[in-house]
């Protein structure tokens, strides 16, 4: 094993780089938290039949919908199944209701 010491300059550079990364990570966390909630009247939401509550989905317009299908158990949902709202891969930059549904629903494996 090498008995080599870490130079002080290298140690300080690493520490400064780590400190510099903290505000960047914090900014990304705040940006995600500040995302707006998807409005059901949004053109993309309307096109995909999004409803904030799966119980409110029109059965005639969406014959493939089943009551147990919710955003929270969809593969596109980017949060935990217990989250009330989370980002969705389909509706970029917006939060969807965990109890919602849209035509792109695909059950998580």
Q: What's the confidence (pLDDT) of residue 24?
A: 62
- Which pLDDT tens digit goes with each residue over 69-106? 999 999 999 999 999 999 999 999 999 999 999 999 99
Evaluate whether 100 touches 50 at the Cβ level (below 8 Å). yes
Q: How sure is the predictor about 56, in pLDDT bands with cuts at 50, 70 and 90?
A: very high
CA distances from 43 to 5, 38, 49, 61 (A): 61, 10, 10, 16
- Which pLDDT tens digit goes with each residue over 28-53? 555 455 799 999 999 999 999 999 99
Is 4 or 89 the better-scoring residue by pLDDT?
Answer: 89
Q: If you ran DSSP here, which 8-state letter would residue 74 be given?
A: B
pTM (2 d.p.): 0.68
User: In whole angstroms, what is the distance from residue 10 CA to residue 12 CA?
Assistant: 5
Mean pLDDT computed over 46-64: 94
């Amino acid at each position: 094993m090498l008995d080599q010491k870490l130079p002080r300059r290298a140690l300080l550079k690493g520490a400064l780089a780590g400190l510099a990364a903290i505000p960047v990570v914090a900014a990304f966390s705040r940006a995600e938290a500040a995302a707006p909630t998807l409005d059901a009247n949004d053109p993309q939401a309307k096109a995909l039949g999004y409803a904030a509550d799966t119980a409110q989905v029109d059965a005639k317009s969406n014959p493939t919908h089943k009551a147990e299908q919710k955003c929270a158990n969809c593969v596109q949902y980017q949060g935990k199944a217990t989250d009330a709202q989370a980002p969705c891969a389909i509706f970029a930059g917006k939060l969807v209701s965990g109890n919602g549904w849209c035509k792109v629903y695909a059950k998580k494996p």
